[in-house]
Structure 1
Amino acid sequence: MQADKLIICAYHNVGYRCIEELVRQGADIALIFTHEDSPTEEIWFKSVRELAERHGIPYLTTDISLPENVERVRAIGPDFLFSFYYRTMIKPAVLEIPKRGAFNLHGSYLPKYRGRVPVNWAVINGESETGATLHHMVEKPDAGAIVDQERVEIAFTDTAFDVFNKITDAAAAVMARAWPLLREGRAACRPMNLAEGSYFGGRKPADGRIDWQQSAVRIYNLIRGVAHPYPGAFSHLAGEKVIIWSAWPVEGTGEPGRIVSHRPLLVGTGAGLLEIRSLQAENGDEMSATEFITDARQFT
C-alpha cells in the first residue's frame, strides 16, 4: 500500500518538532515550505530549513500561495497538507488540493486565542492555562473542526518563552497521537464553537509600553509576556527609554509610575507596587536593579 504523501508549511520550534515527529513515524514528506529568517528578528529558535536539509527533504522559502507554488502543490497531489507555525495565510486554492485534508497546529487551546501570537497574549492576559490544537484548515483563520488538543499550565512565574516551550512539547505530543489516526482515517473531528473563543491580532514592539495606571499584577503580566526573547516591556525615566525585563508585584501603595524605593526598586501602580528586578536603559546593557543608579523619581 502506497504511503500518504505530505506537504508541510512550517517554521519555528513547533514546526521543527512536529516535522521531527512525522519523520520519526516514517511519514512521506514530499515538500516543505518555510521562511527566510528576518534580519530584524532575534532568531532563537531551531531552523526548519536545516532539518529539511538533514533529512534530504526538498524545501522552498517562497509563499505556498504564489501561483507557481499552487501549481507545484497541485502537481505533487498530496494526501495531506500540514501547517506548523507557518506565518503566511494559506489561500483556499491551496487548501482544496490535498485529498485527505489540510490541518493546522495552533498554539492555544482553541477556540480561545485564535489569531496571532497566542502564547504572548495568554500570558499578558494572566491566563492559568493554554494549549496546542490540531484543527482542519478553512479560509477563516483558526476556525476549522478540532482533531486533537492538549492543555498546558501557565504558572504565575512563567514567561512567554517558558510557555512557548511547554506548547512546543504539547504540539509534538498531539502530532504523535494524531498522525496515526489521520493516516488510518480514524481521527476525531469536533466542530469549533467560535462563540466560546476569542481572536487576537499581532503585537508590535510599541505595544510593550507600560501603563502605570494599571495594577502591579497587570503590568507584571505584560513584562513576562514580552520578556526575552521578545522585545520587552518599556517605560521612560528622565526622558530615556528603559526596558524592564523582570519584575514582581508586591503589596503597598504609591503614585502610579513614582519610584518609592531604590533598594529594592519599587514603583507605584494603579493597585499595588511593582518591584523591578532587572532592566536595561536604551543603548545600555541589561542589569539587575541593585546595579541600576538613578536620581530620577518618576517613570512615564
Structure 2
Amino acid sequence: MRISFIGTVEFSKRILEKLIELNCNIVSVLTKEKSKYNSDFVNLSELCIRNNLEYKYFNNINEFETIKYIKSKEPDIIFCFGLSQLIGKELLNIPPMGVLGYHPALLPQNRGRHPIIWALALGLKETGSTFFFMNEDADSGDILSQEKIEINYSDDAKSLYEKITSIALKQVENFIPLLENGTYKTIKQDNVISNYWRKRSEKDGEIDWRMSSYTIYNLVRALTRPYPGAYFFYKNKKVRVWKVNEVRTNRYDNLEPGKVIKNNNGVLLIKAGDNCIEITDCDLGEIIMEGEYL
C-alpha cells in the first residue's frame, strides 16, 4: 500500500513516526516550511531526512504543482492529518482508496474548528479520536476508526492533546493491517445529529470576571500552552493567563467580580461571578495590590 502523507503539526509528526515504526510504504510527505497559523506547527522535513523519506513543501495543498507531484507518486491512499485547509475534488480523486483524514472529536458531532479548545471551553466530559475518509465537506466522510476519550476535570489543552494522540497511535496500529489487506469497514455519518464548531476569535479568549469560576477555569485550560492563552486587561495591557484553580467558597459573596482579594507572592485570588479564581501562572509584569479591580 503506497502512502502519501500530508501534515503540518505535532500530531502529524507523531503519526508519521508511528507509520515509520510500522514499516509502511510512505512514497511522499507533504509539509510546510513555516506557518503562522498553527500553535503546534511542526516542519516534517527533519523527520523525513532522518528516515530517507521523500518530502515536498507546499503553501496551498490544492495548487497545480502540488497536485502534479502527488499524482506522480501514484499513492494508493493519502493520509492527511493536521491540515487547516479543505482538500479539493481533484486531490480527493487521486488515490483509489481515498484520502484518510482525522478529527479529534466524536463525529458526526462537533465537526469544524478548534475541537480540543471548544471541548474544554464548553466543559464537555468526553470527546473522541476519529479517522475518516474525506470528501469535499468538512469532517463529514465515512468513519474508519473512532474511540471515545474521557475528559477529566484536571485536563488542559496539553494533557488532552497528549491523551488524544496516544489513543490515535493505537488506532493507527490497529487499522493499518486492515487497510493493507482490504478487510476494513466504514460507518456513514448521521448528518441529522451533526453540528459545526466555528473558528475561535481572539475575543473568545477574554476573561470576563462576571463569568462563573467554572467557566473561567474551562476557558483558561482550553487556551493554555501550546495555544495562545486566555487573557484579561490590566491598565489597558493584555495579560495572558496559563493556569488557574477554582476556589469554591461563599465567603466573598458580598464582593464584586474582578476584585483582587489576595496577592500571595504573585498568586492572585480574584472574585468571579460566583466563587473565586486563583491565578497561579500568568504573564503579569507588575504587582497588583489587594483591593484593586481587574
Distance verdict in 2 for CA 1:75–1:240, change over 3 Å: closer
Q: Percent identity?
A: 31
Q: Could you tell me which residue of structure 1 aligns to residue 55 of structure 2?
A: 59
Amino acid at match of 1:257: G
Show the counterpart of 1:155: 152
- Contact (CA 8 Å) 2:9, 2:38: kept in 1 or not? no
The Cα shift of 1:79 comes to: 0.7
C-alpha distance in structure 2 between counterparts of 1:69 and 1:46, whole Å: 19
Residue matched to 1:127: 124
Q: 2:259 touches 2:291 (CA, 8 Å); kept in 1? A: no
Aligned equivalent of 1:8: 5
**Deviation string for 1:47-93 (max 9, x for gaps)?**
42211111111111213311122122223221101111123221111
Matched, 1:88 2:89: no
Does the C-alpha gap of structure 1 residues 195 and 257 become closer, same or farther in structure 2, counting only changes over 3 Å? Answer: farther
Corresponding residue for 1:288?
none
TM-score (norm 2): 0.90
Is 2:46 the partner of 1:50? Answer: yes
Question: In 2 relative to 1, CA 180–223 (structure 1 residues): closer, same or farther, beyond 3 Å?
Answer: same
2:20 is matched with: 23
Q: 1:270 aligns with which of 268, 273, 283?
A: 273
Cα distance change of structure 1 residues 20 and 40 upon mapping to structure 2, 3 Å threshold: closer
Q: 1:255 to 1:194 in 2, by over 3 A?
A: farther
| 1-structure distance, mates of 2:139, 2:152 | 25
Letter in 1 for 2:262: S
1:245 has 2:242 as partner: yes
* RMSD over aligned Cα atoms: 2.1
1:232 aligns with 2:229: yes
> Matched residue pairs, number?
287
Residue matched to 1:255: 256
SS at structure 1 position matched to 2:283: strand
Partners of 1:205 and 1:231 within 8 A in 2: no
Against the structure 1 CA distance between its residues 55 and 124, is the aligned structure 2 distance closer, same or farther, given a 3 Å change threshold?
Answer: same
When residues 103 and 11 of structure 1 are mapped into structure 2, their CA distance, relative to the original with a 3 A threshold, is: same
Tell me which residue corresponds to 2:185. Answer: 188
> Is the counterpart of residue 175 in structure 1 residue 172 in structure 2?
yes
Identify unmatched segments of 5+ residues in structure 1. Answer: 286-291
Mapped pair 1:100 → 2:113: no
Q: Distance in 1 between matches of 2:130 and 2:37?
A: 29
**Deviation larger for 148-157 or 237-246:** 237-246
Offset at residue 293 of structure 1 (A): 4.1
State the Cα distance separating 1:201 from its structure 2 match: 2.6
Match of 1:289 in 2: none
Cα separation, partners in 2 of 1:205 and 1:37, compared to 1, 3 Å: farther
